[in-house]
Amino acid sequence: MNRAIKYRLYPNKEQAILIDKTIGCARKVYNLMLNDKVEYYKANKAMLNNSPAQYKKDYPFLKEVDSLALANASQNLNKAYKSFFKNKNIGFPKFKSKKRSRLSYTTNNQKGSIRINGSKIKIPKLGFVRASIHRKAKKDWLLKSATISKDSCGKYYISVLYEFEYKINYIDISNTDELNIIGLDYKSNGLYMDSDGNKAFGSNKFFRQYEKRLAKAQKKLKNKNVGSKNCYKQILKINKIHNKIKNKRLDYLRKLSTKIVNLYDVVCIENLNIKALSNKGFGNGKATLDNGYGMFTTMLEYKLNERGKYFIKIDKWYPSSQICSNCGNKQKITLDQRAYICPKCGKIIDRDYNAAINIKNEGIRLIKSIN
C-alpha cells in the first residue's frame, strides 16, 4: 500500500534556485525527448526509445541537476507515450510549458538519500531543506520517492511517498441486515441525496463564496500594465484566492467522505460518467463540473477499501429514478418532475430520495447475489 505525506518546504535562496532549475531541466528533457519521438513517429510510424543521457552533451546544464529527476521525467513520458500506442485516440503526449504545466519534479530515495531529520528534509543535491513536519510516517513505512513542487503563489512543497504492508480485514457481508448500508443519488445542484433523505451540498459552494472577490481581483488585473511589478502582484493575489477555494473544497470532501466511511459498511452509488453529464448540459452544467462528485467518490472508494468496507457501483442503466421504492412499480418520469408519485401504491416521495433508496436496495440485491 502507498501513502503520500505533503509538507511545506522553506528552501533558502540557493536551494530555491536549484529547485527551479531542476524543475526546468526535467521539463526540458521531457520536451526534447517528446520532440524526437514525434519526429521519429512521423518518419517511421514507430516507437522511439530514447533516454535523458543522450541530451547531456548538447545541453550540459542538464548534468548539474539531480539525474533521478530527469529519469523520472523520461519515465513519465514513456508511460504516456506507450498508452498512446495502445490507444491512438488519446493522442500524443503534450509538451510541457512553463506556464500551463505543474511545476514539479520527482526523485527517488536511495539508501537514505531522502530522509526527515528533525524539522528538515534531506533531498538529493539540495541537502537539508527546512520544512514544516506536521505528521510523521510510521516506523515500518518505506520512503520510496518524493515530488518537489512549486505552486502558483511561489510556495514550495514536498510530497513524500511511502510504501508499507497493510493487511485489510474485510468485514463480513453474509448478513445484509446487520450491515450499515447507504445509497447515494448524484445531484447536479448539490452533491448527493442519501437513502435516509439527507442532502449534501456540493463543493462548488466554496467557489460561489469567493466568486465576487475573484471577479473583483480579475477586474483589477485588467488595469495593470502587462509585465509590471503590480501586475505580477495582482496575479499572485488571484492565485491565492484560487488556492483558498481549492483547499476548502478538498477539506470539505475529505471530511465528508471520512464521516460516511466511518458510519457505514457499504456505500452504493450509481456508476455515472461525470464528464458526459457536465457536457450534456444536465440542466446545471456549471454546477456539475465543479461540485466535486468525481473526487468525492474516488475518496470514498479508497477509504472504504482501506477499512475493509465495500463500495458498490450500480450499473448506469439501472432505472433508479423510475422505480417506486415502496412497491417496485416502474414508470417513466421526466427530469422536471421533482416528486415521484406512484399510481399503484399512492406513495409520494422526493425524486432524489426515492432514487437513493432504490440505489441502496439494488446494492443489497447485488451483495446477496455474491453471498
Q: Among candidates 196, 200, 182, which has minimal Cα distance to 265? A: 182
Complex with Zn ion: residue 1 or 345, whichever CB lies closer: 345
- Binding of Zn ion at residue 367 (CB under 5 A)? no
At CB < 8 A and 24+ separation, what contacts does 295-298 make? Answer: 295/203, 295/250, 295/253, 296/191, 296/203, 296/253, 296/256, 296/257, 297/269
Q: Which of 17, 341, 345, 348 binds Zn ion (CB under 5 A)?
A: 345
CA distances from 280 to 116, 270, 285, 295, 335 (A): 48, 18, 8, 20, 13
Question: Distance (Å, rounded) from C-alpha 133 to C-alpha 200?
Answer: 33
Q: Residue 316, interface with Zn ion (CB under 5 A)?
A: no
Q: Is position 324 an interface residue for Zn ion (rule: CB under 5 A)?
A: yes
Report the alpha-carbon distance of residue 30 to residue 50 in Å, rounded.
11
Using CB under 5 A as the binding rule, whether residue 327 contacts Zn ion is answered as yes
Compute the distance between CA of residue 45 and CA of residue 301 in angstroms, rounded to an integer.
40
329 binds Zn ion (CB under 5 A): yes
CB closer to Zn ion out of 26 and 324: 324
Q: Does 253 help bind Zn ion (rule: CB under 5 A)?
A: no
Which cell numbers hold the place of 352?
A: 432524489
Closest approach of Cβ 328 to Zn ion, in Å? 7
Residues 347-366, mask of contacts with Zn ion (x by CB under 5 A):
x-------------------
Is 153 or 341 the residue whose CB approaches Zn ion more closely? Answer: 341
Applying CB under 5 A, among 31, 326, 349, 350 the residue interacting with Zn ion is 326
Nearer to Zn ion, 322 or 326 (CB): 326
Nearer Cβ to Zn ion (168/327)? 327
Residue that the C-alpha cell 450500480 belongs to: 314
Q: Tell me how far, at minimum, the Cβ of 316 lies from Zn ion, in Å.
A: 23
Asked if residue 344 binds Zn ion (CB under 5 A), the reply is yes
Which residue, 21 or 347, has its beta carbon nearer to Zn ion?
Answer: 347
Q: Please provide the DSSP assignment of 296-352 as one string.
A: HHHHHHHHHHHTT-EEEEEPTTS-TTTB-TTT--B----TT--EEE-TTT--EEEHH
Q: How many of the chain's residues bind Zn ion (CB under 5 A)?
A: 8
Among the residue ranges 86-94, 141-149, 189-197, 323-331, the one whose residues contact Zn ion (CB under 5 A):
323-331
Q: Could you tell me the smallest distance in angstroms from the CB atom of residue 326 to Zn ion? A: 4
Sheet strands (E) in 151-229: 156-163, 181-186, 192-194, 199-200
* Nearer Cβ to Zn ion (189/326): 326
Using rule CB under 5 A, residue 342 touches Zn ion: yes
339 binds Zn ion (CB under 5 A): no
CA distance linking residue 140 with residue 158, whole number of Å: 20
Q: Are 194 and 183 in contact (CB under 8 A)?
A: yes
Which of residues 78 and 329 has its CB atom nearest to Zn ion in the complex? Answer: 329
List residues binding Zn ion (CB under 5 A).
Answer: 324, 326-327, 329, 342, 344-345, 347
